[in-house]
């Protein structure tokens, strides 16, 4: 009888251990399958082989409400937004998603096939099923950052047909799903290509003109849902003023003037290419694409042949100590001005300088990296940020680098390998106030 009782106790213990293991496997996925993106300034080590193709389920999943987190209610007084076509256009862009760490990958010297750049950082190549999943989740804009310098040859920077064809193929995925799409010149900043100073201006102008001449020609027959963005975070790479200008310094004033000329060259080249480019909406950033760069007294919108077709491009991982800084803080308090104050302040200033005067603004990159699984704080942040922006007539685009694990910048929302949404409530929070 005692032996029989022992066997029963042992069996129960084994069953308990087995159930514990099974339940642990039911916790929220963290995106372990994806390759984290390299941190700024770092080059990833070669993987030794080609990146695997993603598996595609029969139907792309969409975010669904979770039970352990809450979507906050926030309210803003609606700001005065002029009634014009440009602001209506940006309003219809609704909310956006960045195909980050994909076509923007650079200097991957271990690759033999240039088309493998697409998966060198994110670990996966883009499929139309992925883009459909983005659409199904409620996004209406996809920004496709593109770096070009590893795909050009000669002094005139002739773009590889293979590379441009592949960029166009993914652009078509977005267009075919009825969304807006943005392409740009991304990680081509630096003294070898584009550097915002009078010393490097001739070289920079040549590069900008040559790239946009070829890209504009390729896409000139696309409708207005195709948007061109001149430059990504144009700046004096490597200088003490790379990210923060001192408006009193001559070299900082010079950098702003040089950028104005680069943006003007971009507009002139695109308009001269004809087709639908003659009246296409174009995005232009201030220095480093920061909100302070756009608000800089020296920043000027380019002169344009058509009225009301320019959009100010801004990147704002704000507040920095929560959204982007590696250490910083991991809490976002909706009731504290320490969390919300800078968001309201910079958006008010953008509204005053641009939107109130009929000039649209798109925040082409924003987001909050995962810090020790601070999911509820990120939900609160994303919900508040988008609600604040939409109240002022601004459209926002989340930076998604497909990174979910490790110690880097974990901005991933949509796991492209598993076609899943590890943090559906963040998406739900953004969608709550996106319309």
Number of domains in the chain: 1
Active-site residue identified among 33, 365, 425, 428: 365
308: how many CB neighbours lie within 10 A of its CB?
15
In a domain, 57, yes or no: no
Residue 365 annotated as catalytic: yes
Of 126, 127, 132, 176, residue with least CA distance to 146: 126
How do residues 331-370 score in pLDDT, each as one tens digit? 999 999 999 999 999 999 999 999 999 999 999 999 999 9
How do residues 234-268 score in pLDDT, each as one tens digit? 999 999 999 999 999 999 999 999 999 999 999 99
Phi/psi at 189 (5° precision): -90, 140
Give the integer Cα–Cα distance in Å for 210 and 155.
10
Active-site residue identified among 33, 118, 229, 233: 233
Mean pLDDT, range 65-72, rounded to an integer: 79
In a domain, 36, yes or no: no
Alpha helix stretches (DSSP H) within 28-109: 85-93
Tokens of 264: 């003007």
- The region, left, alpha or beta by phi > 0 then psi within -120 to 50, assigned to residue 54 is beta
Asked if the model's pLDDT at residue 56 lies above 90, the reply is: no
In a domain, 65, yes or no: no
In a domain, 54, yes or no: no
Mean pLDDT, range 263-291, rounded to an integer: 98
Residue 233 annotated as catalytic: yes
In a domain, 41, yes or no: no
Tokens of 209: 């003109």
In a domain, 116, yes or no: yes
Active-site residue identified among 151, 157, 186, 187: 186
CATH number of domain containing 270: 3.20.20.80
Give the integer Cα–Cα distance in Å for 392 and 80.
7
pTM for the structure as a whole: 0.86
Tokens of 121: 């950082």
Range of the domain at 281: 72-432
In a domain, 39, yes or no: no
Residue 217 annotated as catalytic: no
Distance of CA 154 to the CA centre of its chain: 30
**Helix (H, G, I), strand (E, B), or coil: what is residue 331?**
coil
In a domain, 93, yes or no: yes
User: β-strand 180-184 against 226-229: which pairing, if any?
Assistant: parallel
**Helix (H, G, I), strand (E, B), or coil: what is residue 226?**
strand
């Amino acid at each position: 009888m005692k032996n029989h009782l022992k066997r029963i106790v042992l069996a129960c213990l084994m069953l308990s251990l087995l159930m514990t293991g099974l339940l642990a496997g039911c916790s929220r996925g963290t995106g372990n399958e994806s390759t984290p993106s390299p941190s700024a300034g770092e080059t990833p080590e070669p993987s030794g082989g080609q990146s695997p193709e993603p598996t595609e389920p029969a139907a792309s999943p969409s975010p669904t409400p979770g039970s352990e987190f809450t979507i906050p209610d926030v309210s803003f007084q609606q700001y005065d937004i002029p009634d014009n076509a440009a602001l209506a256009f940006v309003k219809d862009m609704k909310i956006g998603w960045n195909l980050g760490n994909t076509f923007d990958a650079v200097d991957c010297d271990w690759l033999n096939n240039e088309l493998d750049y697409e998966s060198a950082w994110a670990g996966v190549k883009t499929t139309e099923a992925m883009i459909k999943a983005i659409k199904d989740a409620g996004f209406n804009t996809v920004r496709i950052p593109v770096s070009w310098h590893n795909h050009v040859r000669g002094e005139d920077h002739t773009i590889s047909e293979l590379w441009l064809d592949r960029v166009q193929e993914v652009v078509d995925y977005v267009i075919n799903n009825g969304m807006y799409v943005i392409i740009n010149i991304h990680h081509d900043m630096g003294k070898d290509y584009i550097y915002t100073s009078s010393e490097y201006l001739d070289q920079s102008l040549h590069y900008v003109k040559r790239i946009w001449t070829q890209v504009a020609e390729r896409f000139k027959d696309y409708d207005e849902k195709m948007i061109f963005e001149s430059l990504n975070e144009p700046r004096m790479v490597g200088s003490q003023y790379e990210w923060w200008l001192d408006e009193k310094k001559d070299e900082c004033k010079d950098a702003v003037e040089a950028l104005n000329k680069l943006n003007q060259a971009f507009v002139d080249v695109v308009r001269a290419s004809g087709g639908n480019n003659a009246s296409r909406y174009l995005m232009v950033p201030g220095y480093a694409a920061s909100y302070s760069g756009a608000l800089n007294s020296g920043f000027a919108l380019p002169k344009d042949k058509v009225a009301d077709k320019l959009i100010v491009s801004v990147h704002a991982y704000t507040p920095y100590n929560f959204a982007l800084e590696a250490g910083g803080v991991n809490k976002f308090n909706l009731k504290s001005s320490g969390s919300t104050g800078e968001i309201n302040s910079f958006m008010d200033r953008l509204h005053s300088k641009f939107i109130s005067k009929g000039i649209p603004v798109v925040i082409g990159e924003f987001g909050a990296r995962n810090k020790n699984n601070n999911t509820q704080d990120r939900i609160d942040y994303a919900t508040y940020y988008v609600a604040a922006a939409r109240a002022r007539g601004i459209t926002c685009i989340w930076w998604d680098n497909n990174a979910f694990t490790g110690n880097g910048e974990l901005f991933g929302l949509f796991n492209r390998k598993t076609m899943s949404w590890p943090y559906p409530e963040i998406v739900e929070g953004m969608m709550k106030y996106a319309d």
